[in-house]
Amino acid sequence: MIYIFFFSLCFIHFLYDNLMNNCLLMKLRWEGGAGHIKINGTQYQLNQAHWHSPSEHTINGRRFDLEVHLVHESNDGKTAVVGIMYKIGRADFFLSMIEDDLKALAHTKGVERNIGVIDPKQVKLGSRKYYRYIGSLTVPPCTQDVVWTIVRKVRTVTREQMKLIREAVHDVSCYTSPSVHIIL
């Protein structure tokens, strides 16, 4: 039995083709054709990625050093999020690609930075095994009926990469709420 906990944080501001630090989240926004996932016959387009450190989800009571959310939306407005957990270890290739941009935004607020073309396929899942549940967004307006897919394999990042994200968002992660979802 796996226990996954989640909580609410803050509002997401949607961006276009930019990396932005709003001091709550570091977000990367893709515009059109960035890829999609299909869940139970519904196709969801990738819109954006954002990071939380420490992780928002816990698995079997364990919180991880970093979590990325890949946010997808269907044509009829449904939302699906893929979450990937990270622990300290080897460098993450995707974060290595945008490291200079993260450094440039580390001490800014509300600043957007055009980082060019970023292939979302560079975000490696590491496994096709996952946990899935129906929940809500972890940020207001806390939209309901969101399909959450949490990748089972925990990826790795260096301490320096994690520090870049934490410095950028000034350690504003919250604690898990008592909401519990049991995944069998």
Across residues 9-18, what is the average pLDDT?
32
More confident site: 20 or 160: 160
What three-state secondary structure class fits 104?
helix
- Domains in the chain, number: 1
Tell me the two tokens of residue 135: 């929940």
CA distance 175 to 63: 10
More confident site: 4 or 96: 96
- Looking at the predicted structure, is the pLDDT value of residue 133 above 90? yes
- Looking at the predicted structure, is the pLDDT value of residue 165 above 70? yes
More confident site: 100 or 121: 100
Confidence band of 125 (pLDDT split at 50, 70, 90):
confident
pLDDT of residue 25: 61
Q: What CATH code is carried by the domain that includes residue 97?
A: 3.10.200.10
| Structural domain boundaries, residue 93 | 2-183
Got the DSSP string for 120-160?
GGGS----S-EEEEEE--SSTT--SSEEEEEESS-EEE-HH
CB 69 within 8 A of CB 57: no
